[in-house]
DNA sequence: ACAAAAAATGACTATATAGTCATAAACATC
DNA sequence: GATGTTTATGACTATATAGTCATTTTTTGT
């Protein structure tokens, strides 16, 4: 139907998560969706484009919404940090197959585009962690930030793997608290001057993503706030599902290299039909589609 | 020459580390070694056997020797633990390409044998960590062992990745100390009853490797001790290099599915020529080649 | 120097699969 | 319901590569 594209993405994720990129053929994917191979190629010019689209589609779903929702409250820093992890883990549970694929590092050889995507993703993870550390401990934590961030991301990633492979469901909330608790212990030890930092800026340069280098990146904080406000309103509605579908589509479109402005405008129009959303939708629209003089 | 097999393994590791298993062809490997494709198949019956042999060969080199040498001293538990990490990291630096391949999880589809190898490997890692935790903190650490072990292995693995990908050489000694320091902080916090454990035996069953299920595994502790004693003696010799070559060869042979007993006996004979090694060599020989009534 | 044995070679086979495109089915419009 | 247009199909092409094996080269023994 209308979302055959999505069906293809979903089937492809399942198969690639299970068998890996090279051992999943386009024919298999086509058979799984129930369309012909030719159709696949009318949606995705090549297998590589298909996997890139998968990453674009799901990275969004899992990470960005989690970032956004995580910020969506006025909790004190410690609890907010834990909540953010929780939301991440919830997203991971929801999109297990994608995360499996992601963790297995499945990809077409060395696609430039994909590498860029991963690099930006990792950079965002670190920026996000840094922001939280500063919120929690102030600037005095900065000399130890790399060690803390490195250990945090490694613990985070490994629990993620555990969630994905485990039969038992690990409770996301408890896990979020647990991780923050451990970081806190390590951070306080550093602050008390008991441990010496091991990593420094120089060494970690490859993991830094300049906030200013990438336009899309610079405005991310503002965009995040706008998303945050909108989602909050939608949550309060009865037919939230419908509006989430619309925002998902907006989100998807805005990720494309050349988003279709008319499509975006149209989607925002749909949101504005619900008057309680109109204001917030407008703010987000401004963020994503700045006025013509750009 | 004599070690064309080894040359093939080395070339294969380099290529697979760089391009991945599926994107490395037997032809490429052959070209890199400078032999024909046909020759490859006289050493390894299939591509799958080749990659299995790679794992068997290097896992040995990187992990077992590190375990052994790590135990090879009478340091107090804390320092010994740090030293063991150090030795591991040194091994990792030495066999960067292999570790790259290992981390990327390169392998033939789902080879039964390879999965077994990995499972045992991971089990040993956890057993090793558990032993060290008990040495450090006594039995009272057991309720928290899974959380500590899980975080430790995730930190360990991620620093391993950093070592491999980083241009700068991270000093293995400092890194070993650093990791043990962080574990210590977390452990003490658990022992003081400030944190609640998150993982339990039930949940972590897939990661437990029964010490008794696998014969080779049961005797590992004793074998380790025997290796330890022998290495120590060799270290004290002037021409240690030669004897290390012999022990390496023994080590390699003993890992094969069907070690050639005569080869082993001969190699041990060489060791016994140096009288200061004779006794220790005998003990190890007993471990690796128990008397005929088996 | 020769013959027999062992080792190495690379052209060849079988198979898998990304991507194409002429044809067919579905749909739209009058 | 006839005609034109869009969309879907799957047989087909081109290519890559694991694995084989008859032939050639090297080594060994006398």
Q: Which nucleotide is nearest to A27 (CA to C1')?
A: C17
- Does residue A140 lie within 7 Å of nucleic acid chain C, judged by its CB? no
| Residue B215 burial (C-beta neighbours within 10 Å; 0-12, 13-18, 19+) | exposed
Residues with CB under 7 A from strand D: A 4, 35-39, 42; B 22-27, 37-38, 41, 45-48
Residue with tokens 């916090």: B189
| pLDDT, tens digit, 9 for 90 and up, residues B203-223 | 898 888 765 444 444 445 667
- The upper half-sphere exposure of residue A169, i.e. CA atoms within 13 Å in the direction of its Cβ, equals 9
- CA dist A26 and A37 (Å) reads 7
Calculate mean pLDDT across residues B186-213: 85
- Does residue A182 lie within 7 Å of nucleic acid chain C, judged by its CB? no
- CA dist A101 and A15 (Å) reads 9
| pLDDT, tens digit, 9 for 90 and up, residues B141-178 | 999 999 999 999 999 999 999 999 888 889 999 999 99
pLDDT band at B181 (very low <50, low <70, confident <90, very high): very high
- CA dist B29 and B48 (Å) reads 14
Q: Which nucleotide is nearest to B36 (CA to C1')?
A: C9
Distance from CA of B184 to the nearest CA of A (A): 10
Judge: A158–B153 Cβ closer than 8 Å, yes or no: yes
- Does residue A48 lie within 7 Å of nucleic acid chain C, judged by its CB? yes
Residues of A in contact with B168 (CB under 8 A): 202-203
Q: For the whole model, what pTM was predicted?
A: 0.79
- CA dist B198 and A173 (Å) reads 12
pLDDT at B286 over 70: yes
Q: Which token pair is A85?
A: 């992890």
User: What confidence score (pLDDT) does residue A120 get?
Assistant: 83
Q: Is the separation of the CB atoms in B286 and B230 below 8 Å?
A: no
Q: Indicate the residue of A158, A182, A203 with minimum beta-carbon distance to B166.
A: A203
Least confident segment among B14-28, B165-179, B276-290: B276-290
Judge: B182–A174 Cβ closer than 8 Å, yes or no: no
pLDDT band at B238 (very low <50, low <70, confident <90, very high): confident
Chain centroid to Cα A160, Å, comes to 14
Distance from CA of A214 to the nearest CA of B (A): 24
Residue in chain B closest to A203 (alpha carbons) equals: B168
Alpha helices in chain A (DSSP H): 4-19, 26-33, 37-43, 47-59, 65-71, 77-94, 96-103, 112-137, 145-165, 172-191, 201-204, 215-218, 220-235, 240-255, 261-272, 275-288
User: What confidence score (pLDDT) does residue A74 get?
Assistant: 66
Q: Indicate the residue of A105, A162, A185 with minimum beta-carbon distance to B185.
A: A185
Q: Which residue is nearest to nucleotide C16 (CA to C1')?
A: A25
pLDDT band at B253 (very low <50, low <70, confident <90, very high): low
User: What confidence score (pLDDT) does residue A210 get?
Assistant: 62
User: What confidence score (pLDDT) does residue A103 get?
Assistant: 87
Q: Which of A238-247, B68-77, B185-194, B226-235 has the highest mean pLDDT?
A: B185-194
Residues of B in contact with A20 (CB under 8 A): 109
The distance (Å) linking the CA of A260 with the C1' of D10 is 33
The distance (Å) linking the CA of A201 with the C1' of D20 is 55
The distance (Å) linking the CA of B249 with the C1' of C5 is 29
Least confident segment among A258-262, B61-65, B288-292: B288-292
pLDDT at B69 over 60: no
Distance from CA of B33 to the nearest CA of A (A): 23
Q: Which nucleotide is nearest to B28 (CA to C1')?
A: D17
Task: Please list the ranges in chain A whose pLDDT falls under 70.
Answer: 1-2, 64-74, 109, 210-222, 251-260, 290-294
Q: Helix, strand or coil for residue A74?
A: coil
User: What confidence score (pLDDT) does residue B171 get?
Assistant: 93
Distance from CA of A186 to the nearest CA of B (A): 7
Q: Indicate the residue of B22, B154, B206 with minimum beta-carbon distance to A22.
A: B22
- Does residue B36 lie within 7 Å of nucleic acid chain C, judged by its CB? yes
Which sign, positive or negative, has the C-alpha torsion B250, B251, B253, B259? positive
Question: Which chain A residues have any C-beta within 8 angstroms of a chain B C-beta?
Answer: 19-20, 22-23, 104-105, 109, 147, 150-151, 153-155, 157-159, 162, 165-166, 168, 170, 174-175, 178, 181-182, 185-186, 189, 194-196, 198, 202-203, 206
Q: Is the separation of the CB atoms in A76 and A180 below 8 Å?
A: no
Max CA pair span of chain A: 64
The distance (Å) linking the CA of B52 with the C1' of C9 is 25
The distance (Å) linking the CA of A101 with the C1' of C17 is 21
Least confident segment among A100-104, B31-35, B237-241: B237-241
The distance (Å) linking the CA of B112 with the C1' of D25 is 39
User: What confidence score (pLDDT) does residue A138 get?
Assistant: 95
């Amino acid at each position: 139907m209308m979302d055959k594209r999505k069906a293809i993405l979903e089937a492809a994720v399942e198969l690639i998560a299970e068998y890996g990129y090279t051992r999943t053929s386009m024919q298999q994917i086509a058979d799984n969706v129930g369309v012909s191979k030719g159709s696949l190629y009318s949606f995705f010019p090549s297998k590589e484009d298909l996997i890139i689209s998968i990453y674009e589609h799901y990275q969004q779903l899992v990470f960005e919404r989690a970032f956004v929702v995580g910020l969506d409250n006025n909790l004190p820093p410690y609890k907010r940090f834990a909540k953010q992890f929780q939301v991440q883990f919830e997203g991971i549970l929801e999109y297990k197959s994608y995360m499996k694929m992601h963790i297995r590092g499945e990809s077409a050889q060395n696609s430039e585009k994909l590498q860029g995507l991963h690099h930006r993703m990792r950079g965002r993870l670190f920026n996000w962690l840094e922001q939280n550390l500063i919120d929690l401990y102030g600037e005095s934590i900065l000399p130890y930030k790399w060690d803390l961030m490195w250990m945090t991301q490694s613990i985070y990633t490994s629990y993620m793997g555990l969630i994905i492979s485990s039969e038992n469901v690990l409770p996301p909330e408890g896990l979020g608290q647990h991780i923050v608790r451990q970081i806190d212990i390590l951070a306080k030890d550093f602050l008390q001057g008991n441990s010496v930092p091991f990593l420094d800026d120089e060494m970690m340069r490859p993991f830094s993503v300049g906030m200013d280098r990438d336009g899309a990146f610079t405005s991310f904080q503002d965009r995040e706030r706008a998303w945050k406000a909108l989602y909050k309103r939608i949550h309060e509605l009865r037919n939230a599902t419908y509006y989430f579908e619309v925002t998902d589509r907006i989100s998807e479109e805005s990720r494309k290299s050349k988003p279709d402005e008319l499509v975006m405008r149209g989607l925002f129009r749909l949101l504005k039909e619900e008057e309680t959303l109109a204001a917030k939708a407008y703010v987000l629209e401004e963020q994503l589609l700045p006025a013509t003089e750009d």
